[in-house]
């Protein structure tokens, strides 16, 4: 039978720790045994041990809409390492809105009526990284489109592609074209 330690944070912000006795039952006690449980941004964690990796710790934290994961192996001061890494990340990273679904435009496109993306794109970046982003849009010309995938908006950090956002197009029902004007004259 396996026994694994765990800790978690429930929806009421109550930190719990305990032992899994088997796959189907869990004994929970409100014992604060480690420093991470008292850190308000922690959302979960798991300790472990193997002969090869020795002591391991995985923890997750959420801050300012960003989710972070820290993993350590063979670290005798892992609790403090995790706290230090989180504090450094919270201090140095900000969640930047890179692409907005509400205000999405492709200036050089004249082929499609309405280009759009389905979700906003937020990326955690340092200040220097935020000024080093490059957006490259690649569109295919598709004749019959309506809410159709027509291309991709690639986001690069310097020369490395870090995100691929699908781009869609929908027809503008009220668009007046040259041929619709001609048809209107004789219709």
Task: Kindly report, residue by residue over 129-161, the tens digit of the pLDDT.
Answer: 999 999 999 999 988 888 999 999 999 999 999
Over residues 164-173, the pLDDT tens digits come to 999 999 987 7
Determine if the pTM surpasses 0.75. Answer: no
Q: How far is CA 153 from CA 128, 149, 156, in A?
A: 22, 11, 10
CB 22, CB 1: distance < 8 Å: yes
Q: How far is CA 139 from CA 35, 99, 164, 175, in A?
A: 50, 16, 13, 21
Task: Compare 166 and 5 and report the one with higher pLDDT.
Answer: 166
CB 112, CB 92: distance < 8 Å: no
Which residues, 6+ apart, have CB-to-CB distance to 133 below 8 Å? 98, 125, 155, 156, 157
Which residues, 6+ apart, have CB-to-CB distance to 187 below 8 Å? none
- Identify the pLDDT of residue 25: 52
Compute the residue count for the chain. 187
- 107/84 Cα distance (integer angstroms): 43
Give residue 68's pLDDT band: very low, low, confident or very high (50, 70, 90): very high
Q: What is the mean pLDDT of residues 6-30?
A: 52
């Amino acid at each position: 039978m396996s026994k694994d330690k765990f800790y978690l944070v429930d929806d009421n912000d109550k930190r719990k720790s305990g032992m899994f006795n088997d796959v189907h039952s869990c004994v929970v006690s409100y014992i604060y045994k480690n420093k991470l449980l008292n850190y308000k941004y922690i959302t979960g964690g798991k300790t472990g041990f193997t002969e090869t990796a020795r002591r391991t710790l995985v923890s997750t934290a959420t801050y300012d809409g960003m989710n972070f994961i820290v993993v350590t192996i063979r670290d005798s001061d892992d609790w403090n390492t995790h706290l230090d890494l989180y504090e450094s990340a919270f201090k140095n990273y900000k969640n930047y809105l890179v692409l907005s679904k509400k205000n999405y435009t492709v200036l050089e496109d004249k082929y499609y009526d309405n280009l759009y993306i389905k979700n906003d794109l937020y990326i955690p970046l340092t200040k220097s990284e935020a000024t080093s982003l490059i957006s490259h849009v690649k569109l295919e010309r598709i004749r019959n489109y309506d809410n159709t995938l027509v291309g991709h908006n690639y986001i690069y950090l310097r020369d490395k592609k870090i995100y691929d956002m699908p781009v869609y197009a929908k027809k503008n029902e009220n668009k007046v074209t040259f041929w619709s004007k001609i048809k209107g004259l004789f219709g």
